[in-house]
Structure formats: C-alpha cells, structure tokens
C-alpha cells in the first residue's frame, strides 16, 4: 500500500476534528513551517502531474521546467498564504481615557485575492470603517488583516464578511463597515470577457447599519478617499 503523504494525513486529522478546510479557511493551526516545506514538495509533484495531463513538455521546454515548483511555492507562500499563516499580530492599545478617540476611522486597504471557482486574480480595494471602541490597533494592522483574509481562495461576498469579522475581533468595535470594490480575472480573462467590470460588496454592522447618519459618514469618507487615491 502506498504510504500516506503529509497532505493526506493533515486532511484526515482536520476531518476527524470537524475542522472545515475550504479554500477561504485558515488552517494554520494544523501546519508548521517545517511541514509547509514538505507540503510544497508534495504539491510540486502534483502540479507536475497537472502539466503532464495538459500535455506540456516539462523536460525540453525551458520555460516549463521549474513551473510545477514555482506554482507550489506561489500557492503556499503568496496567493494562498492567508490559509497557512496565522493571523497577523495586531497588538491593541487602550482607548479608554477621558480624551479617548470616539470618532469614525476609515482605512483604505489594497487587496489581492483569488476566486476559489477559477483561481483567477481578484484585485481591488477594501474600505474599513469603525467607530473606535475601548482599544485601538495600529493603522497598518487593518491592511495586514484585510490582506491576510484576501490571500486565500475567496468569493468577494465572503471576503467582506471575513474582513469584518476579523476587524471586529482585533478591535472589539461593534460598529463597523467594510466596503470592497474589485475587478475579477474570471470575468475579464474568461467567460464573459468583460474588461473593467467592477464588483462592490458591503457589510455593515451596528451603527453603520442602523444609523443613517453613520452610514452616510462612512460612504462620504470613502468618496473623499477615492478623490485622493482614485482607481
Ligand atoms: Zn471565478
């Protein structure tokens, strides 16, 4: 009987623990750095099989020679890194003194993601808004969290929910909004071949959802941001 490879062993462990491992799920609890190297080797062999099935000559085509390994490394270390890496460290600072910041904070984060249906690139921007709660995180952390959520196989609708949930966890803010604008490779490069088709998704919680004034302030802020950094 063929020996079990590491990916198979980890999948079985996740199944028996009832741990979901969809393309958009983080599974960093099940993989350490050493194991990642083994998984990259296993994925290289699997990608070699895919190239063979596509009838691409890996032996004499110099451009396809190292492609299987490049693909394996790219998936684990770059385009799907948010599945295998633990959450970015977002140390929170207290915001509970008498002169605490009580206003709205809106951060614009560039996103690179990949659709889980076709593994085509998704490129866009997320606007993350919160009403500051009793703690604050560093401004760059909003983008780190958003990018960590994005670097997986995603659906834009799910991605907006994931970012909202992780920002809520890191900041303790109950009033928040996430607005994403993105272009999808799977609409541009295949299927309907529609260039520059833009998809927008919005998740609103707490005051952002219930209070018209807060909601308006959020979208006014986004408009201001877009004037400074148009896309
Ligand atoms: Zn797609």
Ligand 1 mean position, distance from CA 51 (Å):
21
Ligand 1 mean position, distance from CA 155 (Å):
8
Is residue 6 within 8 A of residue 39, CB to CB? The reply is yes
* pLDDT value, residue 133: 87
Tens-digit pLDDT string for the chain (231 aa): 567 899 999 999 999 999 999 999 999 999 999 999 999 999 999 999 999 999 999 999 999 999 999 999 999 999 999 999 999 998 888 888 888 888 999 999 999 999 999 999 999 999 999 998 888 999 999 999 999 999 999 999 999 999 999 999 999 999 999 999 999 998 888 887 777 678 999 999 999 999 999 999 999 999 999 888 655
Ligand 1 mean position, distance from CA 150 (Å):
14
Spatial distance between the Cα atoms of 21 and 67, rounded to a whole number of angstroms: 26
Is residue 125 within 8 A of residue 108, CB to CB? The reply is yes
Ligand 1 mean position, distance from CA 120 (Å):
6
Ligand 1 mean position, distance from CA 189 (Å):
10
| Whether this model's pTM surpasses 0.75 | yes
* pLDDT value, residue 95: 87
Ligand 1 mean position, distance from CA 153 (Å):
10
Ligand 1 mean position, distance from CA 169 (Å):
29
Ligand 1 mean position, distance from CA 209 (Å):
29
Ligand 1 mean position, distance from CA 124 (Å):
15
Ligand 1 mean position, distance from CA 28 (Å):
25
Residues 6+ apart with CB under 8 A from 166: 87, 145, 148, 149
Ligand 1 mean position, distance from CA 188 (Å):
10
Look at residues 90, 174, 96, 170 and name the one whose alpha carbon lies nearest to residue 131. 174
């Amino acid at each position: 009987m063929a020996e079990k490879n590491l990916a198979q062993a980890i999948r079985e462990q996740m199944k028996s623990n009832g741990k979901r491992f969809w393309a958009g799920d983080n599974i960093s609890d099940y993989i350490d750095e050493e194991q990642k190297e083994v998984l990259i080797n296993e994925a290289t062999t699997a990608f070699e099989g895919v190239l063979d099935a596509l009838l691409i000559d890996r032996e004499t085509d110099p451009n396809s020679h190292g492609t299987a390994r490049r693909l394996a490394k790219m998936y684990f270390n770059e385009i799907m890194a948010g599945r295998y890496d633990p959450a970015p460290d977002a140390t929170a600072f207290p915001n509970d003194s008498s002169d605490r910041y009580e206003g709205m904070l809106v951060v614009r984060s560039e996103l690179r993601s990949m659709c889980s249906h076709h593994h085509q690139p998704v490129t866009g921007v997320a606007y993350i808004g919160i009403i500051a709660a009793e703690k604050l995180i560093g401004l760059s952390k909003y983008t780190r969290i958003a990018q960590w959520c994005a670097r997986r196989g995603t659906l834009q609708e799910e991605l907006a929910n994931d970012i909202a949930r992780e920002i809520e966890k890191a900041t303790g803010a109950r009033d928040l909004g996430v607005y994403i604008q993105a272009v999808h490779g799977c609409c541009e490069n295949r299927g309907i071949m529609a260039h520059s088709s833009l998809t927008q998704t919005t998740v609103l919680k707490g005051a952002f959802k219930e209070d018209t004034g807060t909601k308006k302030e959020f979208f006014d802020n986004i408009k201001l941001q877009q004037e400074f950094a148009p896309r």
